[in-house]
A = this chain, B = another copy of it.
Amino acid sequence: MLEPLPSDIPKFLEKYLPDNGPFITLTYAQSLDSRIAAAPGERTYISHAQTKTMTHYIRAHHDAILVGINTVLADNPSLNCRYGTNNSKIRPVVIDPNFRFFSEDINNYKLIDNYKRNNNLKPIFIISEDISIKDESVLNLIDIIQIPLVDGIMSWSDIFTSLHNLGLKSIMVEGGATIINTLLTTTLVDSLIITIGPIFLGNEGVQVSPSSQVKLENINWWTGIQDSVMCANLKK
Contacts and interface: CB of A to CB of B under 8 A. Distances in A.
A134 interface: no
Contacts of A211: 202-203
B213 A223 contact: no
Contact of A209 (B205, B216, B223): B205
| Identical subunits present | 2
Contact of A223 (B199, B203, B228): B228
A177 B210 CA distance: 19
Nearest to A231: B198
A232 B214 CA distance: 28
| A: contact size bracket | 35 or more
A204 to B, nearest CB: 8
A186 interface: no
B200 A38 contact: no
Interface string A116-160: 000000000000000000000000000000000000000000000
A53 interface: no
Interface string A206-236: 0111111111100101010010101010000
A216 B197 CA distance: 10
Nearest to A219: B198
